[in-house]
Structure 1
Amino acid sequence: MPPTALIVIDMLNTYEHEDAEALVASVREALPGITTLLKHARASESPVIYVNDNFGQWRSHHGEILDAALAGRHRSLVEPVAPDEDALFVVKARHSVFYETPLAYLLGELRAERLVLCGQVTEQCVLYSALDAHIRHFDVVVAADAVAHIDAELAEAALHMMSRNMSADICTVADVVFDG
């Protein structure tokens, strides 16, 4: 199995945006899967990389993003997935985890060839990140029970597109294996 990295997308969130209420219910459902993936990746010593939106705060870094998310009204959705001291962190400004970020370089340094994607939002940031990973020749895995959506119908379509058009392995958290 190629070296694997877990990519945690946009889970440090204040949930102070237009689609927050629709998203929160889905995040609650995905949270057990995300925490399980984190536990398994950490136990196998696979790299865990948080890639998070900067919410337009151009002077922010991961500590400020985490503090803002923990101070938000849905702290209970952030605490279980907070980065540990070994986590790596990349700040993004757009939908894809690769767009204008050093993630591809970091993954090269780590010699990662397989990416397990989890987080939010399935039909937006997860979809665009899977596409960008695919065109960079990474093997893509998306644990369907560890991604959250705003629109369930669009999320199902996005998972189908990732599988069909990007050869992504769409599976459950129970099927994900980390190589360490």
Structure 2
Amino acid sequence: MLTDLSPLIAATARWLTAAYPPCGGALASALCEAQARQAVTVAAWLRYPTEIDAGLVTMAGPGGAARLDWITGAEPADDHPAEDWAWRTWVDEVVASWAAALLTDAELAGLAVAALAEGEHTVAPVEFRRLLTPDDGDHRAAALLRHPDLLAPVAGLHRDQLLDRLTPGRSLAA
């Protein structure tokens, strides 16, 4: 059973950077991609914390980008050849939602990275600096990707599940 989440992480990060593109040239594109990939990696590792979880999602498939496209007003897949859109079947809506929440809330991102210690994915310390402490260049490059108002529809989809995962037993009134 395949337990590698890299196809899901790559597709979901690609969807985020396509929906909320970088502001600037090649360097901005790379910085935006790095931030998206770090947020998606944290979200995927939280969502699928064990090898069994990762294996099950790779067998069943994560669900695709259709609902995310509808929410953000992206073009439907019917307008393009299938080979141009095949990667979109690997987009995970919950992971995209969690990543969007992490990109727009530094405190939540810190809690999420700290919670990774409970999963099976990290065998060595992994640095998530661009997610946790982005510098001015990171913010400029990913201005759309980190804009709370723009990401709110996506981040709000599964934010409660993320909060439940990070703060079990929290008060619903909070």
Query: After TM superposition, is the score higher than 0.5?
Result: no
Q: As a proportion of its length, which structure holds more strand?
A: 1
Q: As a proportion of its length, which structure holds more helix?
A: 2
Normalising by structure 2, report the TM-score: 0.28
Larger Rg: 2
